[in-house]
């Protein structure tokens, strides 16, 4: 979407739209932070409603699981995927990843300030549904993989072993912007799992990508 379409999608006029799309790094002022705070609160409330509908036993989930679900939906990596989907990364060219995340929150906050809770909650729910439908959840695949393999080892499976993420190596790029690949080779229920990540500018992202690919392989077994 272009700037005008973003304004229409979030139900904003030009004046408040400009405030919501201008973090401090792009010349914005304190109004941007205030809008981001409002939006963060609205999104949290709507996410609570969404999770209660998605998980019948929601009230019985422990605090750790609740925190994990919230983090998977509203963390920076998930919101960056959402921003790319909406076209915000191009509109906010030059802004940091954190600024882009806060811009989504500020847009929701601007809708709240201009139109009230009902309209802003509707907009927030549309954002959460995009995350769900496009599977943008950032669900910590490295942790999930380790837990899945550890579970079968704990059950006595001697043909499984924990993946070693130390097998990450330089794969091109410049001295200032190196690229990395993570290659996992480990046994799971007697089968060798090989997962090679795409190239990333940091090792953590390579770890996550390799873990996600390994989980897909295990899922198809």
Three-state SS string across 156-199, please? CCCCCCCCCCCCEEEEEECCCCEEEEEEEEEEECCEEEEEECCC
Q: What is the pLDDT of residue 117?
A: 97
Return the SS3 of 200.
strand
Q: What is the pLDDT of residue 64?
A: 59
Cα–Cα distances (Å) from 66 to 59, 83, 92, 197, 203, in that order, read 10, 24, 31, 29, 27
Predicted model pTM: 0.68
Question: How far is residue 66's CA from residue 82's CA, in Å, rounded to a whole number?
Answer: 21
Instruction: Please give the pLDDT value at position 144.
Output: 83
The length of the chain is 221
Which of the residues in the chain have pLDDT under 50? none
Tell me the Cα Rg of the chain. Answer: 20
Q: What pLDDT is stored for residue 23 in this prediction?
A: 93
Residues contacting 124, CB < 8 A, separation 6+ = 39, 42, 43, 46, 47, 108
Work out the burial of residue 190: count CB atoms within 10 Å of its CB; fewer than 13 is exposed, 13-18 middle, 19 or more buried: exposed
CA dihedral 66, 104, 9, 121 (to 10 degrees): 40
Residue 90 CA to residue 5 CA, distance in Å, equals: 13
Instruction: Quote the pLDDT of residue 216.
Output: 87
* 157 token code pair: 């499976």
Query: What would the pLDDT profile of 13-44 be if each residue is shown by its tens digit?
Result: 999 999 999 998 899 889 999 999 999 999 99
Looking at residue 13, its pLDDT comes to: 96
Question: For the chain, which domains are there?
Answer: 3-133 (1.10.1520.10), 141-220 (3.30.160.20)
**Rounded to whole angstroms, how far apart are CA atoms 111 and 22?**
15
- Summarised one tens digit per residue, pLDDT across range 180-210 is 999 999 999 999 999 999 998 889 889 988 9
> Beta strand 168-173 with 191-196: parallel, antiparallel or unpaired?
unpaired
């Amino acid at each position: 979407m272009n700037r005008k379409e973003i304004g229409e999608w979030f139900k904003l006029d030009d004046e408040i739209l400009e405030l919501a799309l201008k973090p401090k790094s792009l010349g914005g002022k304190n109004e941007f932070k205030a809008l981001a705070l409002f939006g963060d609160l609205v999104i949290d409330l709507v996410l609570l409603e969404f999770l209660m509908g998605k998980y019948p036993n929601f009230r019985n989930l422990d605090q750790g699981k609740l925190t994990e679900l919230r983090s998977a939906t509203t963390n920076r990596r998930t919101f960056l995927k959402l921003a790319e989907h909406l076209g915000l990364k191009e509109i906010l060219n030059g802004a940091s990843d954190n600024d882009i995340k806060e811009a989504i929150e500020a847009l929701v906050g601007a809708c709240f300030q201009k139109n009230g809770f009902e309209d802003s909650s509707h907009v927030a729910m549309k954002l959460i549904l995009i995350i769900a439908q496009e599977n943008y959840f950032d669900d910590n695949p490295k942790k999930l993989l380790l837990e899945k393999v550890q579970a079968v080892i704990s059950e006595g499976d001697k043909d499984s072993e924990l993946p070693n993420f130390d097998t990450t190596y330089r794969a091109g790029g410049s001295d200032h912007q190196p690229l990395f690949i993570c290659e996992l080779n480990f046994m799971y229920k007697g089968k060798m799992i090989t997962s090679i990540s795409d190239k990333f500018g940091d090792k953590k992202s390579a770890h996550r990508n390799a873990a996600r690919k390994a989980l897909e392989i295990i899922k198809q077994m």
